[in-house]
Amino acid sequence: MEKQPVLFLDSGIGGIPYCRHFLKRNTGENIVYLADRRHFPYGRRNKNELTGILGPLIEQLIQTFNPKIAVLACNTATLAALSDLRDRFPALPFVGTIPAVKPAALASKTGKIGVLGTELTIKEPNIRELAARYGNNKIIGIAAPELVKFIENNLFTATEETTQHMVRDYLSRFRAAGADTLVLGCTHFLFLQEDFQQEAAPDITVFDSLMGITLRIESLLGAGLLHEKNRKKSTAPSKRQGCLLLTGPEPPEPSWAHWADHLGFQLSLLEIP
């Protein structure tokens, strides 16, 4: 690439909403989006597994693309490995995605905050500590690995009725528990953001971290921390604005060609040693 890229990383398509949101406001930036199909889904893995997966992967991406920022566009990966990755690669600024518990806690009137996430995210004490820090709040957590798989594999083939049924089922459980705010605590769920907002109104307010993450990346880009002259040239091949990289077996599923076209990116496979 002519310019150092911003790297977005997830186990599948879950980080694409963050990538799209950032690109709308920063059209001149080069992007590498990595979907780690080989280790999908991250949500079922523990911290040690994810640290062991992400460390070598980031190292390979640094050697190949020399990114100026790495965005862990996955709540699970962020909670499990962000601290370790920052220690291991101190020269590379990392941006993590965490569930938007703080604004939900500040907005809640019942003190009951719904969080829909992966198994690891729901088990993490971090979200409960955040909720307690901003009031006498309680987390109502529901793990939804089946919804992650649904979005990854059936987003474009499922009927609107099927999608609405799934969304309503989760919301009915949060309503029964008394939640008046809902945090979409897995990046995959942002693809159903409008569905959740429509079905949640008027008694439940839905929160996400899209704008917050984009603003954080922009703040790093403008903070004088990133000087191209002080960093080595990328060894990645050439002159493209965006690259959608996949790990895992060949050939990629046809849906990945759709996503590459949607983003205007070149579709490539990353071979992991």
Catalytic sites, residue numbers:
74, 186
Instruction: Give CA–CA dist 245/9, Å, rounded.
Output: 9
Helices 75-88 and 47-65, interaxial angle, to 10°? 60
207-236 b/e (C-beta count within 10 Å ≥ 16 → b): bbbbeebbebbeebbeeeebeeeeeeebeb
- Name, in order, each residue with C-beta under 8 angstroms of 78's C-beta and a sequence gap of 6 or more: 72, 96, 97, 98
Q: What's phi and psi for 251, nearest 5 deg?
A: -80, 160
For residues 58 and 94, is the Cβ–Cβ distance under 8 A? no
List strand residue ranges (DSSP E) for 54-176, in order.
69-72, 94-96, 112-117, 138-143
Residue 135 tokens, joined: 């009031």
Strands 205-207 and 181-184, sheet pairing: parallel
Tell me how far apart the alpha carbons of residues 266 and 259 are, in angstroms, rounded to a whole number: 10
